[in-house]
């Protein structure tokens, strides 16, 4: 038995073609891993954010923007802090303090380099390793 689509009414043709297309779209799917509440992966992500933001702040004439990213990344109640809550608190406080100082100075402060090193030292207490691109990001 041969199905001849051109003899069927247009609504039936549309329905049949839709079924054929949908049948081809099924099959296996990539398994989904919900890492949104994984404290270890979040800690590694924060460490990367700190490293990149510090590198960008060192090159910037307006470092408060990059430093503020660190404070924003660790604030909030719905983050998976795990055993790193105290580290995030220290990171947030130090980043806020430095960002406010840079805003008051309208640019880098005289002790900014040391305070950025302090942020990196706090972030080094988090798990994972990070890499920072030497190329400036746009």
Q: Which of 29, 71, 32 is nearest to 50 (CA)?
A: 71
pLDDT per residue as tens, the chain (138 positions): 455 545 556 566 666 667 676 666 556 667 888 788 899 999 999 999 999 999 999 999 999 999 999 999 999 888 899 999 999 999 999 999 999 999 999 999 999 999 999 999 999 999 999 888 766 554
Domain boundaries, the chain: 39-123
């Amino acid at each position: 038995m041969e199905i001849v689509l051109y003899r069927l009414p247009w609504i039936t043709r549309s329905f049949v073609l839709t079924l054929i297309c949908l049948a081809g779209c099924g099959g296996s799917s990539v398994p989904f891993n919900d890492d949104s509440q994984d404290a270890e992966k979040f800690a590694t992500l924060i460490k990367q954010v700190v490293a990149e933001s510090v590198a960008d702040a060192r090159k910037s004439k307006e470092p408060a923007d990059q430093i503020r990213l660190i404070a924003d990344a660790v604030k909030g109640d719905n983050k998976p802090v795990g055993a790193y809550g105290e580290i995030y608190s220290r990171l947030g406080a130090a980043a806020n303090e430095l960002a406010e100082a840079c805003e008051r100075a309208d640019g880098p402060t005289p002790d900014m380099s040391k305070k950025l090193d302090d942020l990196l030292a706090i972030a080094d207490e988090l798990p994972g390793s990070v890499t920072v691109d030497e190329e400036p990001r746009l």
